[in-house]
Amino acid sequence: MTTWEELEEMCLNCRGCRLCETRHNVVIGVGNKNADIMFVGEGPGYHEDMQGEPFVGAAGQLLDKMLAAIGLDRQIVYIANVVKCRPPNNRNPEQDEQDACINYLRWQYLLIRPKIIVCLGKIAASALIEPNFSITRDHGKWYSKKDCDFIATFHPSALLRDESKKRLAWEDLKKIKQKYDETRTTNE
């Protein structure tokens, strides 16, 4: 895997798990392919499956507001998911589905080379930071791997279901903004 075109072709033709049987669109990712910061969710929902773009439904609208609150937008960041096809009824992607798709996300990482990865929710954090990750206990903590800093915060859909978590997510976002600014200063 060396180019975006190869990655996209592989994703579009993937039959690695049962999610390919019910998908409308493969949802690869969106944003700046040279981003310093990458946001990773769990998998596409209904609207994402219909449009072929991550985070376009209600959770996506909230993510856009979260990004704007720290001075970012979709043109600056890159947004992807652990799995590229919608799990039926928006259920969490099962482990074998994640395993079938994780290399695509790894290739996205290798092509982008972000300095920061923000895991949106437990599924992404468990896949990328630590298998036993607890979003309630471990959100807002920094982890370093292979010249990249990782942090997890609550998935926007969780914030829509439980507004009491928004204050915690805001504290996480401030940490993300601070780290992002430090990264930008170091690169200049």
Mean pLDDT for the stretch of residues 153-167: 96
Could you tell me if 95 and 18 are in contact, meaning their C-beta atoms sit under 8 angstroms apart?
A: no
Q: Token pair of 155, please? A: 């998935």
The yes-or-no verdict on residue 2 having pLDDT over 90 is: no
Q: Which domains does the chain have, with CATH numbers?
A: 4-181 (3.40.470.10)
Could you tell me if 132 and 31 are in contact, meaning their C-beta atoms sit under 8 angstroms apart?
A: no
Give the count of alpha carbons within 13 A of 24, CB side only.
11
In 3D, which of 65, 40, 60 has the Cα closest to residue 50?
60
Give the C-alpha separation, 139 to 87, whole Å. Answer: 24
Residue-averaged pLDDT of the chain: 95
pTM of the entire predicted model: 0.95
Amino acid of residue 112: I
How many contiguous H segments (helices) and E segments (strands) does the chain have? 8, 6
Q: What is the pLDDT of residues 58-90, one digit of tens each?
A: 999 999 999 999 999 999 999 999 999 999 998
Give the C-alpha separation, 180 to 81, whole Å. Answer: 20
C-alpha pair distances (Å), 174 with each of 62, 151, 157, 171: 16, 12, 19, 5
Q: What is the pLDDT of residues 19-72, one digit of tens each?
A: 999 999 999 999 999 999 999 999 999 999 999 999 999 999 999 999 999 999
